[in-house]
A and B are shown apart, each in its own frame.
Chain A
Amino acid sequence: MHEAVEGAHMLTQGTTRWSEVGATSATMNAVSRDSDRWRDNTADDDQDRPLSFFAGTWPRTNVVDAGASVIVTAEVPGLTRDDVTLALSGNVLIVSGERALKVPQSYAVHRQERTQAKFSRTVTLPYEVAEDRTSASVEHGVLTVTLHKAPHEEGV
């Protein structure tokens, strides 16, 4: 079982690069926002900050079948449970929410690489799960959802 995880690591080494691509896109967004700001003369207006076009890949999500349960984890730095909505239907879990990063007033921006996004990720689980046995937490910027098999899936 452990080998499967190790193997998956090797296969997905490249995906860690997405953070860098996302960072680049955030920088490009910042550049385009700054030029818009210059054109429209709307200083200090955060409303027009474009949301990342990598929203479909944020937050990065892992799905691991731990035997008795399936564990879904997602990287949501800076977010708390109030910022994340979970929806469940059969064997599909949807994680959604919004991460809006405000520049504090009277601060100049030198770098802005962190992703801000309205996000929604759909996770297909290996089996249907029992909603009432689901638990979830957000700790250290990581969302962890633990789901258990639905009664009619037991022993399958």
Chain B
Amino acid sequence: MVWSNVVSILWHKLRGSSADERADIPVVSHAAPVEWLADGPVTTPPIDVFESDREFVVHADVPGATPERVVVSCDDRGQLSLWVKRSSLPRGIAYSIEYQAQTWHRGLTLPEAADRRAASAELANGVLTIRIPKRPRRRSGVVRRQA
């Protein structure tokens, strides 16, 4: 291969868009319906989990996901779960296939400090971000043993 004639493609010369799409995802109190399981293999998406003084943040990589195919749920026991479905491939002759249509699922147990009903979720550029604020600290939370 002679690389003297390599053409670097500049994006502004190309046709096509790059929408910086950002969509709010409702956080429901019940998990995804069972029929979501029926279509394609279920795998775990890679996640990052961060914590600050005020909140917990979960980022999940779900490339190809669109907002209407994402379910985020958080029940009263603090079980957070996410279900994401990705649709199928373009039709044609497959030269090389490294990924396919699939369902992603991940479940997490939230700590006591998390305010389960205040969780919010957002999907942007194939990354699902879930934020769970912390409850304000209560003074009565400290139990002193009587001497």
Report the bound CA distance from A89 to B46 in whole Å: 34
A135 at the interface (CB under 8 A from B): yes
Chain B interface extent, by class = 35 or more
B57 at the interface (CB under 8 A from A): yes
B48 at the interface (CB under 8 A from A): yes
Interface string of B62-83 (1 = CB under 8 A from A): 1111100000000000000000
A106 at the interface (CB under 8 A from B): yes
Neighbour of B50 across the interface among A77, A110, A137, CB < 8 A: A110
Q: Contact: B8 with A109, CB < 8 Å?
A: no
B14 at the interface (CB under 8 A from A): yes
Question: Which residues on B sit within 8 Å (CB–CB) of A104?
Answer: 50, 52, 57
A80 at the interface (CB under 8 A from B): yes
Q: Contact: B127 with A4, CB < 8 Å?
A: no
Q: Contact: B97 with A8, CB < 8 Å?
A: yes
Report the bound CA distance from A123 to B96 in whole Å: 9
Q: Contact: A141 with B98, CB < 8 Å?
A: no
Question: Which residues on B sit within 8 Å (CB–CB) of A79?
Answer: 125
Chain A interface extent, by class = 35 or more
Question: Which residues on A sit within 8 Å (CB–CB) of B97?
Answer: 5, 8-9, 11-12, 15, 62-64
Interface centre among A19, A82, A111, A139 (most CB of B within 10 A): A139
Q: Contact: A136 with B9, CB < 8 Å?
A: yes
Q: Contact: A62 with B63, CB < 8 Å?
A: no
Report the bound CA distance from A63 to B97 in whole Å: 6
Q: Contact: A140 with B126, CB < 8 Å?
A: yes
With known contacts A137-B16, A138-B18, A62–B48 Cβ distance under 8 A:
no
Q: Contact: A137 with B18, CB < 8 Å?
A: yes
Among residues of B, the one whose C-beta sits closest to the C-beta of A16 is B43
Question: Which residues on A sit within 8 Å (CB–CB) of B52?
Answer: 104, 106-108
25-61 of chain B: CB within 8 A of chain A: 41, 43-53, 57, 59, 61
B138 at the interface (CB under 8 A from A): no
Question: Which residues on B sit within 8 Å (CB–CB) of A115?
Answer: 46, 61
Among residues of A, the one whose C-beta sits closest to the C-beta of B94 is A8
Among residues of A, the one whose C-beta sits closest to the C-beta of B43 is A16
Enumerate chain A interface residues (CB-CB to B < 8 A): 1-2, 4-5, 7-9, 11-13, 15-20, 22-23, 26, 57, 59-67, 70-71, 73, 75-82, 85-90, 92, 101, 103-104, 106-115, 123, 126, 131, 134-142, 144, 146
